[in-house]
Amino acid sequence: MAQHILLNGSVRTIKAGVNADDAIASLQAKGHTVEKIKSPPGIKTLERWVSEGDCKATDGCRCDPDGTCEHGKKSWLLVLGMI
Ligand SMILES: [Zn+2]
């Protein structure tokens, strides 16, 4: 399964065969803000969250669709640029 990271606030997929930890360390060494995240939710899940009026943050916490969780992680809708 593909690994995902947040690179300077944007979701990126680590290429197959690339060690995610090595890639993150290399990007951080170049001064980028990098964070390992879970796979982004699918469009159906995002639509359900919107219809229910809430969302999940990139660390899996519940949060406001346009907000952050208690750990300061942004909602998936914000990260994916959907709101
Ligand atoms: Zn959280």
Its domain, for residue 34, covers 1-39
72 has a pLDDT exceeding 90 = yes
Number of domains forming the structure of the chain: 2
Which of the four pLDDT bands, split at 50, 70 and 90, describes residue 46? very high
Do 45 and 83 reside in the same domain of the chain? yes
Q: How far is the CA of 23 from the centre of ligand 1 (A)?
A: 24
Q: How far is the CA of 48 from the centre of ligand 1 (A)?
A: 20
Do 20 and 49 reside in the same domain of the chain? no
- What is the percent of the chain where pLDDT is above 90? 93
1 has a pLDDT exceeding 80 = no
Rounded mean pLDDT, 26-34: 97
The pLDDT, as a whole number, for residue 13 is: 95
Do 77 and 60 reside in the same domain of the chain? yes
Q: How far is the CA of 19 from the centre of ligand 1 (A)?
A: 25
Distance in angstroms (rounded) separating the CA atoms of residues 20 and 45? 25
Which of the four pLDDT bands, split at 50, 70 and 90, describes residue 83? confident
